[in-house]
Every structure is written in C-alpha cells, then in structure tokens.
Amino acid sequence: MDRHFLITVSDQKSALYGVRFVGDFFPDKTNIKTTLFFSGPQTNPGADQEKELQAKGEQALEQAGTILMEKGFSKKNIMYKSRSSVLSTVTDIIQEAEKGTYDAVVLGRRGINILEEAFDESISEQLFKEKPVFPLWLCNTREGIGKDVLLYLDGSPASFQMADHVGFILAESKKHHIDLLAPESVFLEPSLMDQYIHILSRNNLDINRIRTQLPVSSNPAQQILKLTAKKTYAAVALGKAGSESNNILSRLSKGPVCSVLFKEMKHASLWLCG
C-alpha cells in the first residue's frame, strides 16, 4: 500500500531537512509518494511581487524534487503544489493537509519556525480549536539519520493512535526496528503492552522488529534525550497527550514530554499525532 507525504518546502536550505529526511529514511521508495508544497509569504498585491514569488516557489519545488530523485524516488511519485498565501503559511499547510489524503505532514526547520512564529496569531488559535487529523513529522536536524524509531507509550488515546501510525508507516520497511519505551505504570501492565503490540502488528508489521526498552520511572523526556544522544534514531514518536489548548505551539507541544522534546531534541525527528 502506498504511503503519501505532504512535504513543505521554501527557498531556505533548512526547509529541505524534511525532504532529505524522507529521502534518506525509506530505503525502498517504490510505494512512497510525496507532494511537495510551497506556500509563499503574504505580500501586497502587485504583478511583480506575484511573479517573484512564483519564481521562488518553482525554484524551491524543483530543488526539492531533484533531491528526492537523487535519493531514488521515481519522478511519477513526486507531485508539486504551490500557492500564494492569503491568510498565513501555516493555515495553507493545514488546509492542504486536511484536504488531501496524506499519511503525514513533514516540516523542515523553516516550517517549524513558522509554527513557532504563529504562537500568538488569532487565525492559528481558531484553526487549532479542532484536533488536527494528521500526524506531523518535525525534522529539526541536518545530521545523518538512523533507521530505527523510538516509540513512547504513555497509555493515552493519542499514543495508541501513534502506535497505529508507526505500524502502518513501517510495515513494509523491513530494515527499521521499533523500540518501545513506556512508564512503569504502562510497562508493568501486560494488557496495555499487549494492546500496543497488537496495534503495531495488525498493520502486517513483523513483531520480531519490535524491541522493548527498560521502563521509565521518573523523567521520560530526559531519558529520551539521553537515548537519542547515545543511539542514532531516525525519529521519536509519541502522542500529544495533555490538556487542550487553543494556540498552535501549545497544541504541538502540549504535555511535559512532548514539550521538552519539541524544544530540546536535536538528534532525531519528532513524530506527533493525536
């Protein structure tokens, strides 16, 4: 089954972290589709500005497409979309993500900056009153990536959603392993761990690719940071557990574990959903 990713790009090099992550992460690109999405900054009406923006968008998309093809993607599996922003870039990204049938939205460093800059925007507050229906991959590093995914399981509904996402994404990528990390309250509850294993394996993921870490007892965020500094993981995946919030940054980083990783993790990408 195809996996389809919406990857945001801009004319800044750091925006290509997401492109490079997807290109490096999947050794077999046969069933991986990407839509490269450029949303230009808001500008005052004017033909010259529109032409300049369009040229920047086309150049950024072309560069991103070239990188993917150099990493083994078929030209037919790369699609391109661009638009001039009417409300805000973050709104454009979310609207496109909800409109399309994407398995995840991939943001590079520039995309993450845009989300941070949108902290106080009223449009973002209104937009994120409703729960996003797509996983986010935040690619915040230029370092070489590993193959494996560290999946943090805290017993929340969002963590079950993430387990399903990880199982689906990695089912056909046989070179990736999944390391499970959970608090003692979850780790020592066999029925909960069995549910997670079932969710992962129902996507036809080989359970022999699932490994269990020692339980977390006190500070999961710091343990995850230490693990990712010691071992090269491709990503840390978790659900966005915690209290509801109306602004975009809080909704991305709600919950103490997610908040710390969003701000401090430098050695792996961060996958969020829920």
Last residue of a domain, one of 94, 114, 138: 138
Last residue of a domain, one of 138, 171, 193: 138
Do 95 and 158 reside in the same domain of the chain?
no
Do 113 and 175 reside in the same domain of the chain?
no
Do 11 and 74 reside in the same domain of the chain?
yes
- The H-assigned helical ranges of the chain are 17-25, 47-70, 89-99, 109-117, 122-127, 157-170, 184-187, 190-201, 220-230, 248-253, 256-264
Let me know if residue 204 belongs to a domain.
yes
Do 48 and 130 reside in the same domain of the chain?
yes
DSSP state of 183: B
Do 156 and 266 reside in the same domain of the chain?
yes
Q: How many CB atoms lie within 10 A of CB 245?
A: 15
Phi, psi of 191 (to 5 degrees): -65, -35
Let me know if residue 129 belongs to a domain.
yes
Let me know if residue 144 belongs to a domain.
no
Task: CATH number of the domain at 224, please.
Answer: 3.40.50.620
Do 24 and 104 reside in the same domain of the chain?
yes
- Please state the domain count of the chain: 2
Do 72 and 192 reside in the same domain of the chain?
no
Let me know if residue 34 belongs to a domain.
yes
Let me know if residue 267 belongs to a domain.
yes
pLDDT at res. 124: 35
Mean pLDDT of the region 64-83 = 94
Question: Mean pLDDT lowest for which of 8-17, 142-151, 182-191?
Answer: 8-17
Mean pLDDT of the region 34-59 = 77
Q: Can you name the residues that pair with 33 across neighbouring β-strands?
A: 4
Do 101 and 175 reside in the same domain of the chain?
no
Q: How confident is the model at residue 240 (pLDDT cuts 50, 70, 90)?
A: confident
Let me know if residue 76 belongs to a domain.
yes
Let me know if residue 169 belongs to a domain.
yes
Do 125 and 153 reside in the same domain of the chain?
no
Phi, psi of 197 (to 5 degrees): -60, -40
Do 112 and 228 reside in the same domain of the chain?
no
Last residue of a domain, one of 138, 171, 194: 138
CA–CA distance from 88 to each of 84, 93, 137, 140, 151 (Å)? 9, 9, 20, 21, 32
Residues 6+ apart with CB under 8 A from 236: 149, 150, 151, 152, 224, 228, 261, 265, 268, 269, 270, 271
Domain that holds residue 191: 149-273
Q: How confident is the model at residue 16 (pLDDT cuts 50, 70, 90)?
A: confident
Instruction: Look at residue 248 and tell me whether its pLDDT is greater than 60.
Output: no
Instruction: Look at residue 157 and tell me whether its pLDDT is greater than 60.
Output: yes
Question: Mean pLDDT lowest for which of 12-26, 63-77, 102-116?
Answer: 102-116
pLDDT at res. 99: 84
Mean pLDDT of the region 138-146 = 74
Tens-digit pLDDT profile for residues 158-169: 899 999 999 999
Q: How confident is the model at residue 3 (pLDDT cuts 50, 70, 90)?
A: very high
pLDDT at res. 29: 93
Spatial contact of 146 and 177, defined as CB atoms under 8 Å apart: no
3-state secondary structure of 184: helix
Do 114 and 39 reside in the same domain of the chain?
yes
Q: Which residue has the higher pLDDT, 55 or 65?
A: 65
Residues 6+ apart with CB under 8 A from 52: none
Of 5, 7, 9, 67, the C-alpha closest to 31 is 5
pLDDT at res. 120: 40
Mean pLDDT of the region 123-141 = 60
Let me know if residue 143 belongs to a domain.
no
3-state secondary structure of 239: strand
Instruction: Look at residue 132 and tell me whether its pLDDT is greater than 80.
Output: no
Do 126 and 155 reside in the same domain of the chain?
no
Percent share of the chain, pLDDT over 90: 40
Spatial contact of 19 and 137, defined as CB atoms under 8 Å apart: no
